[in-house]
Structure 1
């Protein structure tokens, strides 16, 4: 009975969710099918909510993400109501930006990922934490922290347009609009084109009669 109720809820969600995303209705149905399959593969899991561990598995195995800090922040970006789960609707809306977002949407998303304490700014300390986690992978004779500190200062010099020693969204947006390669300056938090193509194939061709 619960399974039938969940299927009806997903069908109803597909009717309206696609209007606020970059997906067609058929693609939304496919994404919900993928979501349900991920949940039903976990015994005892709520079909309508994905926990952090399952979501991280998707990021790691489907989108080749490995950075713990960034994966946690991507999860928080999807989990819009902060209930520690990604609902079916949050899944579709999050993937709309993740896979097909406009540049404006991607800039807002990346900035929120990088703003580790969600105070509206990316501080020196936050830059250092992310860059250290991303770059300090190989042993070296020199102190890697010093190199990362230098990189933080170089980044601030390039992107801190109001010279307040931190990056506001305005600083970040202006910098990325001038130099698009700065979009993921503090670490990969968007999937590469190869992963986008492979994942899209799992839902765009999905049969829609499973309801």
Structure 2
């Protein structure tokens, strides 16, 4: 752990970086502290790491994939990173700012159970139509297995993602209509201890 220089987010200058694009300046530190569950010190550490990887103050999808691939070199994380990027890109403008990043991270790491479940549902609901289909869940599961790497877990069979999806829908799809709504998702997760533990494992992937 390095010592953080005693300046705030707004004190940092862009002069250190020769950029061809206009830099994005984050919200004031105090405002971000109010909007998230991070302390000022934590926000400073997060910001310096973010600026180190993304000097312009925003990250596009390709850069996001590149950064994420460094954490999972044994597999192909590009598809999962794509889904994750879309979940962080709340403004749907093709870029993730520091504000977007810490708001999402705050929910994932410090949010209430309900907040975390809503965030997870949004991640799984790929077309954002308010329900999760088997096809969407299959895409997510495949991306997770690809990211973890087939050689990391040699006992995993090719049909493992499909079995996971079938188990997911058997527990979640209460009215058996082929889709999982946000209400079904939250109710099922809160009542099933195994699902909650499984969700926590996927949180660690993030």
Q: Could you state the TM-score of these two structures normalised by the residue count of structure 1?
A: 0.69
SS at match of 1:191: helix
- Given candidates 57, 64, 68, the residue that maps to 1:55 is 64
- Given candidates 84, 100, 111, the residue that maps to 1:90 is 100
1:22-73 CA distance string (max 9 Å, x none): 1012221222222111123xxxxxx221121222233333588854332211
| Cα distance in 1 between the residues matched to 2:43 and 2:108 | 14
Aligned CA distance change for structure 1 residues 99 and 133 (closer, same or farther; 3 Å): same
1:153 aligned to 2:163? no
What RMSD, in angstroms, separates the aligned Cα atoms of the two structures?
Answer: 3.5
Structure with more contact order per residue of length (Cα contacts < 8 Å, sep ≥ 6): 1
| Cα distance in 2 between the residues matched to 1:172 and 1:116 | 15
| Cα distance in 2 between the residues matched to 1:135 and 1:52 | 20
1:155 CA displacement: 2.8
| Cα distance in 2 between the residues matched to 1:95 and 1:20 | 12
**C-alpha contact 1:70 1:189 (8 A) present in aligned 2:** no
1:189 CA displacement: 4.6
Which segments of 5 or more consecutive residues in structure 1 lack a partner in the other structure? 41-46, 196-211
The residue number in structure 2 matching 1:163 is: 176
1:133 CA displacement: 4.2
The residue number in structure 2 matching 1:3 is: 14
How many pairs are equivalent?
181
Which segments of 5 or more consecutive residues in structure 2 lack a partner in the other structure? 1-12, 17-21
**C-alpha contact 1:134 1:187 (8 A) present in aligned 2:** no
Identify, as 1 or 2, the structure richer in helix: 1
**C-alpha contact 1:121 1:169 (8 A) present in aligned 2:** yes
Q: Could you state the TM-score of these two structures normalised by the residue count of structure 2?
A: 0.71
Aligned CA distance change for structure 1 residues 14 and 67 (closer, same or farther; 3 Å): same
